[in-house]
Structure 1
Amino acid sequence: MALGYKTRKRLAILILLVGMPLYVVAAVTLVGLFDRPPLWLEFLIYVALGIVWILPLRTIFRGVAQADPDEKKAEGQDPSA
């Protein structure tokens, strides 16, 4: 079942406002459990964690910044125009 545009937009906002801060706290806590690695390794860990969070959520964020495609269909206009 595909999510509608408005549902994806609301989920994206919820993820950014609630999920992202929780993920940041979890990532910092996880890295803090180990002895301080070298600066370059710590940087690579944070870069990897910064990329990993979006992989399962990319379908929700894809196309959210675009105009609502359902709005054009409701008005009876050609979506390609």
Structure 2
Amino acid sequence: MLAYKTRRRLSILALVVGLPLYIVVSVTVVNWMEQEWGRMPILLELLVYGGLGVLWAYPLKPVFKGVGKEDPDA
């Protein structure tokens, strides 16, 4: 289990650096798919962007868990 301060620092790093990078990569992949196979139907495109919008949070759930609360070690 990560220490509170470590989780807090990792969560800030993930939100400030990782999330913008993830957004750029996601939009690039969707644009590549659009160039390769043509425009997706709007509902499918909405599902893809919605899925990508939620997907980033699952691997980071342990890092974000409890970060908004007071330091339990203090």
User: Could you list the runs of 5+ residues in structure 2 that have no partner in the other structure?
Assistant: none
Percent identical = 51
Deviation at 1:60, TM superposition (A): 0.2
Q: Which has the larger radius of gyration?
A: 1
Amino acid of the residue matched to residue 6 of structure 1? K
**Greater helix proportion:** 2
* Alignment of 1:64 onto 2:67: yes
Q: Normalized against structure 2, the TM-score is what? A: 0.90
Aligned-partner SS, 2:73: helix
User: Could you list the runs of 5+ residues in structure 1 that have no partner in the other structure?
Assistant: 72-81
Alignment of 1:1-81 (within 5 A): 2-34=1-33, 35-71=38-74
The structure 1 segments of at least 4 consecutive aligned residues displaced by more than 4 Å after TM superposition are none
Amino acid of the residue matched to residue 7 of structure 1? T
Aligned length: 70
Q: CA RMSD in A?
A: 0.7
Of structures 1 and 2, the one scoring higher in RCO (CA 8 A, sep 6+) is 2
